[in-house]
Amino acid sequence: MTKYQCVVCEKDIPEVHGPFEKDWEGMWNGGIVDKIAAGYGSKIDGDMFVIAICDECVIEKNLKWVGNYMERGMTKFEIPKFAKTKITK
């Protein structure tokens, strides 16, 4: 089973099921795992990486919320779901 560690707290983020050809694809239990790419202006322009961050750190670090790919028609004035969620540690 593939797992990544949160870049902030190092908590394990295991895959829900798999394996996939690219091990960063799929669904993850308790966090986000995805590919990121450095753009123009970065010293590592063009390089791509996999990043993993757990749900708790997304909220604690107040990552900028830009939408929900499962919900259509939301406006920027609507309150994101996770803003109402209390996470117990």
Q: Which residues of this protein are in contact with Zn ion, per CB under 5 A?
A: 6, 8-9, 11, 54, 57
Whether 63 contacts 51, CB under 8 Å? no
If the CB atoms of residues 17 and 89 are measured against Zn ion, the closer one turns out to be 89
User: Distance between CA 19 and CA 41 in Å, rounded?
Assistant: 35
Cis before 19? omega within 30: yes
Closest CA to 55 of 31, 88, 24: 31
Measure CA of the first residue to CA of the last residue in the chain; give whole Å.
24
If the CB atoms of residues 12 and 78 are measured against Zn ion, the closer one turns out to be 12
Closest CB 7 distance from Zn ion, rounded Å: 8
Closest CB 40 distance from Zn ion, rounded Å: 29
If the CB atoms of residues 6 and 33 are measured against Zn ion, the closer one turns out to be 6
Closest CB 46 distance from Zn ion, rounded Å: 28
